Homo-oligomer: A and B are copies of this chain.
Amino acid sequence: MNLQEIGKRAKAAARLAARLSTNEKNRILRLVADALEADTAALLAANAPDVVNATNDGKNAAFIDRLTLTEARIATMARDMRNVAALDDPVNEVMEMKTLPSGITVGKKRVPLGVVGVIYESRPNVTADVFGLCFKAGNVAILRGGKEAINTNTAITNTCRNALAENGLSPDFIQLVEDTSREGALEMMRLTEYLDVLIPRGNGGLIKAVVENSRVPVIETGMGNCHIFVDASADLDKATRIILNAKTQRPGVCNACEKLLVHRAVADSYLPAVCKALADAGVELRGNRAAADICADITLVPPEAAEWHNEYLDLIIGIAVVDNLSAAIDHITAHSTGHSEAILTESYANAQTFLQEVDSAAVYVNASTRFTDGSEFGLGAEIGISTQKLHARGPMGLRELTSYKYIVYGNGEVRG
């Protein structure tokens, strides 16, 4: 089906999705979860050729792992969908209602965004996860996954669509774009008549391409060049525990620590210890001149190197010795992607300054940047982590998949 037709169907379905009651949405989500489990054999069968093709194409082991479905992973998709059913429904909440001097009573009512487009890569669980979150927030989803997962994504989408249709609902609450070409992606980015928002999920190149080419409003997600600054007054035992967690607990994700800044006053005493702990955990050490001078295991990275701006997404860390808090904030301001940054300090004043002046989606005192996550922040689930300032910032849950409208109750009022 061409994108115009997909868009038209999505727009029509969005009116229906917005009207569903919370009970009805929850019931359907549980039925779709059941259907995913019931279709396990068919989903695994659809996944097999995708895995074979990707292997033949020479994709690396991590890619194949992300692409591969297992019975356990299908069970997780179903469990996550049931969890979404259990979350509060943000739709129809009325906020800030008040009667104004003219006599009209005005409030803001939370409504679905409408049609949500998502462009992603080859993790098939995204297909089910995005549908669950979009549907619970009263939206319809147009999904465009990676070409390597096309058979798997088609099967998952069909399971969802069949479950919807069997329960008397529009199957078009979820549609998959079959054209996985680059041209198809560009066309999707221009579907302004039908898409209310476009969310790219994937590597930096994918996100950049969407931000630069989309005419549909975009929410930029996920790039995380996250910094931890060890202040002169830091509790150094806590610091090492936090740094190890933030760097090594899951190095391939966007909230992992990529850069370590150390206050000059504690660099001589602390750097050798933290570097040893990181190296023991298998982390490759790179750093600026002052850091390399203190610790011989650190490979020099010149100040102008692009990597001060980039994510490693690997067991590598960039270390810079900085003169003071102000220099740390300047470094972060110059190099951060605006995701997550932490200060480790026992100074009240420095903690407050850092929280105030660092302008990132999540700013921490004395905790691991790994907490930047919808579940950890109490949102229940997330569709992505926004690194832009418009609409939503940081982990985006169900509420961030909504808009609002003003509702006005009058009694014949006119404007004077």
Using a CB–CB cutoff of 8 Å, the interface residues on chain A facing chain B are 15, 18-19, 98, 100, 102, 104, 106, 109, 111, 113-114, 192, 196-197, 211-212, 215, 217-219, 235, 238, 241-242, 244-246, 249, 333, 355-357, 359-368, 370-372, 376-378, 388-391, 393-395, 403-415
Complex Cα distance A390/B235, Å?
42
Asked whether, in the complex, the Cβ of A415 is within 8 Å of the Cβ of B249, the reply is yes
A166 to chain B, nearest CB (A): 26
Given contacts A211-B215, A217-B388, A414-B242, contact A393 B406 (CB under 8 A): yes
| B393 pairs with A391, CB closer than 8 A | no
Q: A406 and B363: CB pair below 8 A?
A: yes
A45 to chain B, nearest CB (A): 36
Q: Are A378 and B106 CB-contacts (below 8 A) given A405-B394, A414-B241? A: yes
**A366 interface neighbour in B249, B368, B412, Cβ under 8 Å:** B412
Cβ contact of A249, chosen from B192, B249, B409, B414, cutoff 8 A = B414
- Enumerate 16 A-B pairs (CB-CB under 8 Å) in ascending A order: A98-B378, A100-B378, A102-B376, A106-B378, A113-B389, A244-B414, A361-B406, A362-B406, A362-B408, A364-B408, A367-B408, A371-B410, A376-B415, A390-B390, A390-B391, A394-B405
With contacts A357-B19, A406-B377 taken as known, whether A212 is within 8 angstroms of B211 at the C-beta atoms is no
Taken together, the copies of this chain in the complex come to 2
What residue of chain B has the Cβ atom nearest to residue A249's Cβ?
B415
Q: List chain B residues, Cβ under 8 A from A394.
A: 405-406
A104 interface neighbour in B196, B371, B406, B411, Cβ under 8 Å: B371
Could you tell me if A409 and B211 are in contact, using CB atoms closer than 8 angstroms?
Answer: no
From residue A321, how far is it (CB to closest CB) to chain B in Å?
A: 23
With A390-B196, A414-B368 already in contact, the answer to whether A405 and B363 are too (CB < 8 A) is: yes
**Contact at A415–B359, with CB atoms within 8 Å?**
no
A350 to chain B, nearest CB (A): 13
B-side contacts of A393, CB under 8 Å: 403-406
Task: Give the shortest distance, in Å, between A342 (CB) and chain B (any CB).
Answer: 8
B residues near A413, Cβ cutoff 8 Å: 242, 366-368, 371
Cα–Cα, bound, A238→B378 (Å): 48
B113 and A408 within 8 A (CB): no
Measured in the bound complex, the distance between the Cα atoms of B338 and A196 in whole Å is 13
| Complex Cα gap A211–B216 (Å) | 9
Closest to A235 in B: B412
C-alpha gap A242/B102 in the complex (Å): 14
Closest residue of chain B to A18 (Cβ to Cβ) is: B359
**Beyond A19-B357, A367-B413, A368-B415, 16 extra complex contacts between A and B, CB < 8 Å:** A15-B359, A100-B376, A100-B378, A109-B355, A111-B389, A113-B389, A192-B212, A217-B388, A241-B412, A242-B412, A367-B409, A367-B412, A370-B414, A371-B408, A390-B403, A393-B403
